[in-house]
Amino acid sequence: MDIGVTIFDHILSNQKLNPGATGAFTRLLMAIVVAAKVVQRDVAKAGLVDVLGRAGSINVQGEEVQKLDEIANQALKSLLWSSGEVCTLISEEEADLIEIPRQFKRGNYLVHFDPLDGSSNIDANVSIGTIFSIYRRVTPPEMDAGLQDALQQGMRQVAAGYIIYGSSCMLVYSTGYGVHGFTLDASVGEFLLSHPSIRIPSRGKIYSTNESNYRYWDEGTRNYIDWLKDPEAGHAKPYTSRYIGSLVADFHRNLLYGGIFLYPADLRDPHKPRGKLRLMCEANPMSFICEQAGGLATTGSERVLEIQPTEIHQRVPLIVGSCEDVQTYQDFMARARGRSAG
Ligand code: AHG
Ligand code: MN
Ligand code: MN
């Protein structure tokens, strides 16, 4: 029976492209694959065992942590530790760099992750996800890994990906050689290559944003959204609005169908524009994947992957999607900047 290309085969064949490869990176990715299966199992039975609902504590971002967030966080930590290939971990759910317990071997990689993205959707059985972003350490191996390792520009990611727990469970990743999607075949317990070399359409028909924040956006963003909805604007086809409120699910749909996702800066306090999404565990990995698929990602004023991070839990505006859609958005932003300067 031919079951197709497993994710293990795929990672291994990538490893063979690199003659200096030691297998370390392959072991690291495989630890994430196992974590994905563990979290998928727990998400799928969330309604059966009593893991639904809130755990009652507040995470470092000031948000309520839900039980599945903790389960996913723990699964990723323990499987990544066991791989022996990480020097530190950074989770959306934890304030500081996560040290590697003494009993585990240390490696040369570090992983930023959002263990469960879209967790406010859990109780309604809406798609949620896990996001990961991998870097090589920059400090010498005999030192403890620190902020210098954790705060690297997104363009230095060696891999990034996400798992979506949806109508099926998919893992999408890139190591800088295109974007590849795998679907979990539960009957054999393997992720099988279902979406090789994903390319995002150069222009889409979908925009995804929490439009209730409209009045707190800058002029360029408001003008752009008005233009998308304007029947007189001369679009080939009118844009349609789709917003789930799970970044992974909104991004994944737009990656396959084409479109633009926007979480712009909030100007409620005009002196302190605030992004919502986290640079290291949300914006950078999605931007890396999108660019690898032929799309673009910006904050409105700069390329996300070029931001020099200053804090591990830094938040940024994120506008990501089809290349021509993001370019049109940037044109609106440039025109608005020109007007306010002139
Ligand atoms: P998380 O569940 O990891 O905290 O992330 C939630 C994020 C992201 O998934 C989504 O795009 C965004 O929050 C939704 O925000 P709004 O509810 O403000 O639209
Ligand atoms: Mn998230
Ligand atoms: Mn989360």
Domain extent listing, the chain: 7-195, 206-341
Q: Distance (Å, rounded) from C-alpha 322 to C-alpha 332? A: 16
Reported as a single tens digit per residue, the pLDDT across 214-226 is 999 999 999 999 9
Nearby residues of 190 by Cβ (< 8 Å), 6 or more positions away: 3, 6, 7, 8, 184
DSSP 201-226: -SS-SEEEE-GGGGGGS-HHHHHHHH
The yes-or-no verdict on residue 228 having pLDDT over 90 is yes
How far is the centre of ligand 1, averaged over its atoms, from the C-alpha of 12 (Å)?
Answer: 34
End-to-end CA distance of the chain: 68
Reported as a single tens digit per residue, the pLDDT across 99-133 is 999 999 999 999 999 999 998 888 888 999 999 99
Which residue, judged by its Cα, is nearest atom 11 of ligand 1? Answer: 247
For residue 65, the model assigns a pLDDT of 59
Q: Give the number of the ligand closest to the Cα of residue 263.
A: 1
How far is the centre of ligand 2, averaged over its atoms, from the C-alpha of 308 (Å)?
Answer: 20
For ligand 1, what atom is nearest to the CA of residue 117? 3
Q: Distance (Å, rounded) from C-alpha 306 to C-alpha 287? A: 10
What are the structure tokens assigned to 225, written together? Answer: 């959204």
Find the mean pLDDT for residues 174-191. 95
Does domain 7-195 match CATH 3.50.50.60?
A: no
The topology (CATH level 3) of 206-341 is: D-Maltodextrin-Binding Protein; domain 2 (3.40.190)
pTM of whole model > 0.85?
A: yes
* Strands lying side by side in the sheet with 128-136: 86-91, 109-117, 128-136, 159-165, 169-174, 180-185, 190-195
For residue 31, the model assigns a pLDDT of 97
Nearby residues of 132 by Cβ (< 8 Å), 6 or more positions away: 32, 76, 111, 112, 113, 114, 160, 161, 162, 281, 285
Q: Determine the residue of 61, 246, 262, 313 to mutate for testing ligand 1's pocket, defined as the one with the most ligand atoms within 8 A of the Cβ atom.
A: 246
What are the structure tokens assigned to 91, written together? Answer: 């989770």
The yes-or-no verdict on residue 270 having pLDDT over 90 is no
